[in-house]
Amino acid sequence: MADLKTDVRYIKGVGEQRAKALAKLGVHTLRDLISWFPRRYEDRTETRRIADLVPGETACVAAMAASPPTVSHIRKGLDLVKVRAVDGTGTLDVTFFNQSWLKNSLRMGETYVFFGRAEGNLLRRRMANPVVEPEGRREATGRIVPVYPLTAGVSQLVLSRSVRQGLDACADILPDVLPDEVRREHQLCHIGFAYENIHFPADSQALDLARRRLAFEELFLFTLGLRRLRQRREKAAVEPFRPVDMGEFYGALPFFLTGAQRRCVEEALADMASGRPMNRLCQGDVGSGKTMVAAACAFFCVKNGRQAALMAPTEILARQHYEGLAPLMEPLGVRCALLTGSNTAREKRALAAALAEGEIDFILGTHALITGGVEYKRLGLVITDEQHRFGVGQRAALAGKGDHPHTLVMSATPIPRTLALILYGDLDVSVIDQLPPGRRPVQTSLVDSGYHPRIYKFLRKLIGEGRQAYIVCPAVSEGEEGGDDRKAVTEYAAQLQREVFPDLRVAYVHGKMKPREKDAVMAAFAARETDILVSTTVIEVGVDVPNAAVMVVENAERFGLSQLHQLRGRVGRGEWQSYCVLVSDNRSEETRRRLKVMTQTADGFKIAEEDLRLRGPGDFFGQRQHGLPGLRVADIGCDAQLLREAQAAADALLARDPGLEGCPAAAERVEELFTGAAVTFS
């Protein structure tokens, strides 16, 4: 009999090949499979008449094939099947791409149900590539249909059928992590009903019940785990750091720290002197000076006879930190070194030996800092930069190199304080809410694509003055999910080089490139070997290029405000006036109002609050951002009341059963979710 840890390949109907495809999604076990929740749903329960179809809207329509289907070979790799369908109210022209087998499946005179996006005008409606099935054998229509996140080699049909097999396999073994009294008190459905109806809802009411139950469960388990993390930290005792004259450090700086920076440093030093391990988040806007806060903490740590380590997500960022901090720290007696994957084997061995002997005080690097062969003599402080790029497991692995070292995590993503307390419930939060004096705000404009000629002329002018530019697109290549209106990095870069800027140096970078390729492109841009860098949001957290003075964001409506703010932070780092141009043809009042916020304020925290209000916490909450268990169903923006209920239920349970002895299923699940964060209930 299967259990939830069973490999998916052993689930009936899945098999080896399908399991390999599912593995690309991170689906390896039966639990992974049934927890791969839909990202949205299509309501295919209502069937409309052709005359009632609204262009731009998706709908089901039942219509008779009024002509035999025809096949056209447009070019190699593109076949079109066309059929005309009618009902008593109008005509629908239907086109299918590369589905030539439909020529023999669709028969004139028979009625089919088509589900797709209606186009055309009042006189003639069209549909391209709709779902189609005979009216008498409806499987894909007539119900609420889940739409799953996919990857290459996995279709909606394959995933849906695999999930069906998975649910059938575990129908009798799903453990309910919620105690009965909690479930009853909060009027939550049983776990089996929830999983069945989150994937295959009987109706909208069943879907709402399932979603509420699973969202509550996520928030409940999340709260339990965070409470345990904090309890574990508060129980640990370490030798307090002694006071250090920080005047030597401050005097070596070529500038004065802002009041906010000094406050954050003082909060961190107080933590390290408390006799408890520091676990602090330092968050501040791009350019607010988090690195200097980290340097002050490293200085304090080293002067207490301990080693400090700073881990950055990319080699180029690690090197940038090293080149900026080593000249400051070494004259103060702090021995610095850089360790990345690019070091030769010989260099790595030498650095590892020096660390183990205590001959290096402050090591900066990438995840190479946590590899098995790297040991520290007396690691006292762990700093992770752009911490949302690291999972809890990676942070814990670095912390595990010492005996309860102090931890400082830095994030340039401004997060509303209320949300930060939820996201980082196991951390204390410091906020740098001031920018250094003299930084010029980035001038931000919102325009439509009709402005492209003027934008290109403006780019050429600034590049002629010696500046550089970023152009950000929301897709890697044409044909990706989301429609043809998305500017695509590879094609757009080629078009710009060929047609618009043949005399300039245009390069591109995106997240699907290998890390070394990405680093090489970014390094070339930083070295002024490229004039225009066309990119996806991979540059959202990246190298500091003070010479870049323009950021153009295509299809800006596709991005959250916080993400746009992060992107804008890539410019405005030098002595020149910088500009951000948001390009969007979306005319909806809500979209224009949202994007206008970017032109009205440079305050990342105000922008984050607005983003949370408008969009919910999608930009903040997810595995990518914080490394703690991702919320797959719950939405903090929409589920604030449910969060309060789940937190109250979790606190009440811990108050009467601190070790969760009476709830072994909940205890086991929390430990699984927080693997790497060392949550235990012993």
Amino acid at 98: N
The radius of gyration computed from the CA coordinates of the chain, to the nearest angstrom, equals: 28
Asked if pLDDT for residue 172 goes beyond 80, the answer is no
pLDDT tier, 420 (very low <50, low <70, confident <90, very high otherwise)? low
Asked if pLDDT for residue 29 goes beyond 90, the answer is no
Asked if pLDDT for residue 627 goes beyond 50, the answer is no
Q: Does residue 58 or residue 305 have the better pLDDT?
A: 305
Asked if pLDDT for residue 328 goes beyond 50, the answer is yes
What pLDDT score does 621 carry? 39
Q: What whole-number distance in Å separates Cα of residue 316 and Cα of residue 335?
A: 21
What pLDDT score does 628 carry? 47
- Computed over every residue of the chain, the mean pLDDT equals 82
Domains, the chain, ordered by start = 1-44+144-172 (1.10.150), 46-142 (2.40.50.140), 247-432 (3.40.50.300), 443-623 (3.40.50.300)
Q: What whole-number distance in Å separates Cα of residue 41 and Cα of residue 200?
A: 10
Contact 413, 625 (CB under 8 A): yes
Q: What is the reported pTM?
A: 0.62
What pLDDT score does 397 carry? 66
Three-state DSSP class for 366? coil
What pLDDT score does 520 carry? 87
Distances, alpha carbon 185 to alpha carbons 182, 194, 300, 548, 644, in Å: 5, 17, 50, 57, 14
pLDDT tier, 17 (very low <50, low <70, confident <90, very high otherwise)? confident
pLDDT tier, 623 (very low <50, low <70, confident <90, very high otherwise)? very low
Asked if pLDDT for residue 25 goes beyond 70, the answer is yes
What pLDDT score does 614 carry? 63
Q: Does residue 391 or residue 291 have the better pLDDT?
A: 291
Contact 528, 463 (CB under 8 A): no
Tens-digit pLDDT profile for residues 236-285: 778 899 999 999 999 999 888 889 999 999 999 999 999 888 888 888 77
What pLDDT score does 457 carry? 95
What pLDDT score does 478 carry? 52
Three-state DSSP class for 310? strand
Count Cβ atoms below 10 Å from residue 24 Cβ, excluding itself.
Answer: 12
According to DSSP, the β-strands at 40-43 and 144-147 are antiparallel
Contact 85, 63 (CB under 8 A): yes
pLDDT tier, 393 (very low <50, low <70, confident <90, very high otherwise)? low
What pLDDT score does 625 carry? 36
pLDDT tier, 136 (very low <50, low <70, confident <90, very high otherwise)? confident
Surface-to-core class of residue 398, CB atoms within 10 Å of its CB (0-12 exposed, 13-18 middle, 19+ buried): buried
Q: What whole-number distance in Å separates Cα of residue 479 and Cα of residue 386?
A: 31
Degrees to nearest 5, angle at CA 502 with 498 and 508 = 70
pLDDT tier, 636 (very low <50, low <70, confident <90, very high otherwise)? low
Tens-digit pLDDT profile for residues 431-469: 887 777 767 788 999 999 899 999 999 999 999 999 999
Q: What whole-number distance in Å separates Cα of residue 350 and Cα of residue 135?
A: 72
| Interval 76-90 mean pLDDT | 85
CA dihedral 213, 218, 221, 226 (to 10 degrees): -150
Contact 263, 430 (CB under 8 A): yes
Q: Is 651 left (phi over 0), alpha (psi -120 to 50) or beta?
A: alpha
In percent, how much of the chain has pLDDT > 90?
A: 27
Asked if pLDDT for residue 209 goes beyond 90, the answer is yes
Q: What whole-number distance in Å separates Cα of residue 474 and Cα of residue 284?
A: 25
**Sign of the C-alpha dihedral, residues 232, 26, 517, 341?**
positive
What pLDDT score does 81 carry? 87
Tens-digit pLDDT profile for residues 273-327: 998 888 888 887 777 788 899 999 999 999 999 999 998 888 878 888 898 899 9
Question: Mean pLDDT highest for which of 167-171, 380-384, 627-631, 675-679?
Answer: 380-384
Tens-digit pLDDT profile for residues 145-156: 888 877 776 777
Asked if pLDDT for residue 389 goes beyond 80, the answer is no
| Interval 645-658 mean pLDDT | 89
Considering all CA atoms of the chain, what is the largest pairwise distance in Å, rounded to the nearest integer?
A: 90
Three-state DSSP class for 403? coil
What pLDDT score does 445 carry? 93
Asked if pLDDT for residue 126 goes beyond 50, the answer is yes
Asked if pLDDT for residue 598 goes beyond 50, the answer is yes
Tens-digit pLDDT profile for residues 210-246: 999 999 998 898 888 878 777 766 677 788 999 999 9
What pLDDT score does 415 carry? 67
Question: Mean pLDDT highest for which of 126-140, 236-250, 376-390?
Answer: 236-250
Tens-digit pLDDT profile for residues 519-575: 888 889 989 999 999 988 777 556 678 899 999 999 998 888 878 888 888 888 878
What pLDDT score does 13 carry? 72
Asked if pLDDT for residue 666 goes beyond 60, the answer is yes
Q: What whole-number distance in Å separates Cα of residue 395 and Cα of residue 474?
A: 30
Asked if pLDDT for residue 638 goes beyond 70, the answer is no
Q: Does residue 196 or residue 477 have the better pLDDT?
A: 196
Element (H, E) at 283: strand 279-284
- DSSP E strands: which ranges in 606-663? none
Q: What whole-number distance in Å separates Cα of residue 32 and Cα of residue 53?
A: 39
Q: What whole-number distance in Å separates Cα of residue 74 and Cα of residue 327?
A: 63
Contact 393, 320 (CB under 8 A): no
